[in-house]
Amino acid sequence: MIIVQNGLNNERGLKTFINMFFKTDEDLSVFSNFDYSNKKINVYTVIYFRNKKYTEDYYLDFDISGKSEKIINKVFKAACANSFVHAAMKINKVNLPWGSMCGIRPAKNVREMSEDGLNGEQIKYMFEKIYEVDPEKTRLAMTVAKNEKDILKRTGKKSVGIYIGIPFCPTRCLYCSFVSTDMKFSAKYMDDFCDKLVLEIKKTAEIIEKLGAYVESIYIGGGTPTALDNENLEKILKGINDFFDLKNLKELSLEAGRADTITEKKLNTAKKYGVTRISINPQTMNDKTLKKVGRDHTSGDVEKWFSEARKIGFKNINMDLIAGLPDESFDDFKYSLDEVLKLNPDDITIHTMCVKRGARLKNTEIEFTESEIMNKMLSYAQGKISETGRVPYYMYRQKNMVGNLENVGYAYPDKMCSYNINIMEERQSIIALGGGGSTKIVTDDNITRIYNYKEPKEYIEKFEDILKRKDEILKLKGAV
């Protein structure tokens, strides 16, 4: 692939869109010429593909006077992407509801534009005219930004969030690209992993104390934390209670993702140690699909454990669904959502099917749902869930999402998960522990990432290194 850009170099952004239109091994040349004069942007793009030439002469009225450098830069880059996208659409039709907006956090874009001094109308203009975002998606991003505002305002200046990664699952789902291991092979590491994790909790608590900070939220994810046996789950939860100062804690979330890992004992343990929010994630309520994607539970198990969890006293339960699972039609998705709504969870996350390199699904013949149907699924979910009083409060996009759509969390206003918002908005430092965690320390002008090892075996063997890496946090100027 050859890329030549005159006037403005936006190769990274351009590559994102090239990957959406063309296969990686396709022979392709892209040339673009950027010019700004008389309050007009002009980007002329030429794509040479299979001995044919495709062009776009793109113009955009834009007055840079009074605009911040950040905004000018964003607009110039969007113009380059638009010009390429218009030319590429003459070759392949690709669903781009988010237009030329790159990046995984559309609501963060809204917030940043607002902090740069743009009002609602100007932000809408930026989304729809500059980035060519679909009006429905613009409304969604602006609504999420509005709904998360209060939680962001209440996020303490000296607060941190804690993420604890438990990389065990009973089997590996067909689409999985998370940090997780099949317990058929990894269960032998569980005890050792959990013992070390308690030491990491202790170490992290000491660091937080030295920073003069406090823990505001804890999220135990994975993997599937409830894949741990009850003793190990208790060990971790006890470690949290023993070592972290929890007097300012607002929420303690536990993913009990798969119904085949939940037991009454584990739910009671979670309750005993102060878990305030759990996730029971069906992904679909169609048993045929559950089997196809490799989950050893039925929709009936999901219903059973949901009502058990309510009986035990969990007042904030999240459920995840995935739109676009293999061979699911719009009606299948609609059925799942309608069934989930009957259970009345407090928080529902609608994910868009996403197939990353590590997923087993990548190597199958399974066809992905057409973009048009994906759009219909997501629009249905948005309309239907909003009717129930739940509001969209966090969202993110990923690479390789079917239809280039998004994941959205909807909750009743008093049940929004502050951890989810803060991780998306990158305003609060998140210290990650366990397998595959990625610590993000937010300082005034930077975000520093420190990675943990992923697999249980690696985590155990390189544990000393993990503890040393934790000390790096103390060296960061302005950390927390």
Chain residues that interact with ligand SF4, rule: CB under 6 A: 169, 172-173, 176, 178, 180, 222-224, 257-258
* Helix/strand/coil for 181: strand
Between the alpha carbon of residue 410 and those of residues 110, 217, 294, 319, 331, the distances in Å are 18, 19, 26, 10, 21
Name the residue type at position 282. Answer: P
Asked, as a colleague might, if the bond just before 223 is cis with ω within 30 of 0, I would say yes
Residue 163: strand pairing partners = 219, 432
Which residue, 21 or 168, has its beta carbon nearer to ligand SF4? 168
CA distance 257 to 254: 9
d(CA 176, CA 150): 33
Among residues 169 and 378, whose Cβ is nearest to ligand SF4? Answer: 169
Q: Which is nearer to ligand SF4, 250 or 351 (CB)?
A: 351
Q: How far is the CB of 381 from ligand SF4 (least distance, A)?
A: 19
Rounded to a whole number of angstroms, the minimum distance from the CB of residue 146 to ligand SF4 is 30
CA atoms within 13 A on the CB side of 431: 29
State the alpha helices, DSSP H only, in 259-406. 264-272, 287-292, 299-312, 330-343, 371-387
Name, in order, each residue with C-beta under 8 angstroms of 199's C-beta and a sequence gap of 6 or more: 463, 467
Name the residue nearer to ligand SF4 (CB basis): 320 or 332.
320
Judged by CB, which is closer to ligand SF4: 173, or 233? 173
Closer to ligand SF4 by CB, 86 or 258: give it.
258
Least CB distance to ligand SF4 at residue 120 (A): 37
- Kindly tell me which of 176 and 353 has the beta carbon lying closer to ligand SF4: 176
Q: How far is the CB of 282 from ligand SF4 (least distance, A)?
A: 11
| Shortest Å, Cβ 469 to ligand SF4 | 24
216 token code pair: 């505001």
Q: 215 Cβ partners below 8 Å, 6+ apart?
A: 159, 160, 161, 162, 208, 244, 245, 246, 248, 249
| Distance of closest approach, residue 167 Cβ to ligand SF4, in angstroms | 8
Shortest distance (Å) from residue 310 CB to ligand SF4? 22
